[in-house]
Amino acid sequence: MSDSLGSLPDRPLRQREVTALNHADAFSLVVPVDREDAVEADTREPVVVTEQLILGTDDWVKGLVYDGGWVTVETVAIDDPDEERFDAMRECEVAVSAHER
Protein backbone atom coordinates (compact mmCIF):
# COMPACT_ATOMS: atom_id res chain seq x y z
CA MET A 1 0.00 0.00 0.00
CA SER A 2 1.17 3.52 -0.64
CA ASP A 3 2.00 5.75 2.32
CA SER A 4 -1.35 7.53 2.14
CA LEU A 5 -3.23 4.22 2.16
CA GLY A 6 -1.08 2.89 4.98
CA SER A 7 -2.44 5.66 7.18
CA LEU A 8 -5.96 4.17 7.11
CA PRO A 9 -6.97 2.67 10.45
CA ASP A 10 -7.00 -1.12 10.69
CA ARG A 11 -10.78 -1.28 10.87
CA PRO A 12 -13.80 -0.14 8.85
CA LEU A 13 -14.04 3.64 8.54
CA ARG A 14 -16.65 5.74 10.30
CA GLN A 15 -18.58 8.16 8.12
CA ARG A 16 -16.88 11.17 9.74
CA GLU A 17 -13.48 9.65 8.84
CA VAL A 18 -14.54 9.29 5.20
CA THR A 19 -15.58 12.95 5.26
CA ALA A 20 -12.23 13.95 6.80
CA LEU A 21 -10.35 12.00 4.11
CA ASN A 22 -12.25 13.94 1.45
CA HIS A 23 -10.82 17.14 2.92
CA ALA A 24 -7.27 15.74 3.20
CA ASP A 25 -4.60 16.66 0.67
CA ALA A 26 -3.68 13.01 0.04
CA PHE A 27 -6.82 12.23 -2.01
CA SER A 28 -8.92 14.04 -4.60
CA LEU A 29 -11.95 11.94 -3.73
CA VAL A 30 -13.05 9.32 -1.22
CA VAL A 31 -16.36 7.59 -1.85
CA PRO A 32 -17.88 4.85 0.29
CA VAL A 33 -19.31 2.06 -1.85
CA ASP A 34 -21.58 0.89 0.93
CA ARG A 35 -22.54 2.04 4.39
CA GLU A 36 -23.64 0.00 7.37
CA ASP A 37 -25.15 0.92 10.70
CA ALA A 38 -22.96 -0.18 13.60
CA VAL A 39 -22.43 0.51 17.29
CA GLU A 40 -19.28 1.96 18.89
CA ALA A 41 -17.70 -0.73 21.06
CA ASP A 42 -16.75 1.71 23.85
CA THR A 43 -19.80 3.94 24.06
CA ARG A 44 -22.52 1.82 22.41
CA GLU A 45 -23.35 4.92 20.33
CA PRO A 46 -24.79 4.28 16.84
CA VAL A 47 -22.35 4.97 14.01
CA VAL A 48 -22.25 4.52 10.24
CA VAL A 49 -19.24 2.62 8.86
CA THR A 50 -17.97 1.46 5.49
CA GLU A 51 -15.84 -1.52 4.55
CA GLN A 52 -15.68 -0.65 0.83
CA LEU A 53 -14.10 2.54 -0.56
CA ILE A 54 -13.12 4.20 -3.79
CA LEU A 55 -10.08 6.46 -3.37
CA GLY A 56 -8.74 8.76 -6.05
CA THR A 57 -5.86 11.08 -6.79
CA ASP A 58 -4.94 12.88 -10.00
CA ASP A 59 -2.88 9.80 -10.98
CA TRP A 60 -5.00 6.80 -9.95
CA VAL A 61 -8.26 5.46 -8.60
CA LYS A 62 -8.30 2.48 -6.23
CA GLY A 63 -11.03 0.21 -4.96
CA LEU A 64 -10.46 -1.00 -1.40
CA VAL A 65 -12.21 -3.57 0.76
CA TYR A 66 -11.72 -4.11 4.48
CA ASP A 67 -11.05 -7.83 4.95
CA GLY A 68 -9.13 -8.09 8.22
CA GLY A 69 -7.15 -5.12 6.87
CA TRP A 70 -7.54 -2.80 3.88
CA VAL A 71 -7.03 -4.69 0.61
CA THR A 72 -6.71 -3.00 -2.77
CA VAL A 73 -8.87 -4.99 -5.18
CA GLU A 74 -8.45 -2.71 -8.21
CA THR A 75 -6.14 0.10 -9.28
CA VAL A 76 -6.68 2.14 -12.43
CA ALA A 77 -3.99 4.59 -13.53
CA ILE A 78 -5.28 7.82 -15.05
CA ASP A 79 -3.54 10.50 -17.09
CA ASP A 80 -6.39 13.01 -17.35
CA PRO A 81 -8.60 13.11 -14.22
CA ASP A 82 -11.27 15.22 -15.92
CA GLU A 83 -11.69 12.70 -18.73
CA GLU A 84 -10.80 9.35 -17.14
CA ARG A 85 -11.76 9.50 -13.46
CA PHE A 86 -15.43 8.58 -13.83
CA ASP A 87 -14.70 5.42 -15.86
CA ALA A 88 -11.90 4.49 -13.45
CA MET A 89 -14.29 4.89 -10.51
CA ARG A 90 -16.89 2.65 -12.19
CA GLU A 91 -14.25 0.00 -12.88
CA CYS A 92 -13.12 0.08 -9.24
CA GLU A 93 -16.71 0.00 -7.98
CA VAL A 94 -17.41 -3.15 -10.01
CA ALA A 95 -14.27 -4.79 -8.64
CA VAL A 96 -15.15 -3.85 -5.04
CA SER A 97 -18.70 -5.12 -5.41
CA ALA A 98 -17.45 -8.40 -6.94
CA HIS A 99 -14.83 -9.00 -4.22
CA GLU A 100 -15.78 -11.87 -1.96
CA ARG A 101 -14.67 -11.66 1.62
The neighbouring-strand residues paired with 66 are: 70
- Name the percent of the chain in helix, strand, coil, to the closest 5: 30, 35, 35
Tell me how crowded residue 75 is: count the other CB atoms within 10 A of its CB: 16
Task: For residues 43 and 54, give the distance between their C-alpha atoms in angstroms, rounded to a whole number.
Answer: 29
Full domain range(s) for residue 69? 3-98
Region 89-97 average pLDDT: 95
Task: For residues 87 and 77, give the distance between their C-alpha atoms in angstroms, rounded to a whole number.
Answer: 11
State residue 100's pLDDT score: 75
Domain count, the chain: 1
Please determine, for residue 3, whether its predicted confidence score (pLDDT) is greater than 70. Answer: no
State residue 91's pLDDT score: 97
Higher pLDDT, 49 or 80: 80
The model's pLDDT over 4-41, given as tens digits with 9 standing for 90+, comes to: 677 788 999 999 999 999 888 889 999 999 887 777 77
The model's pLDDT over 63-83, given as tens digits with 9 standing for 90+, comes to: 999 999 999 999 999 999 999
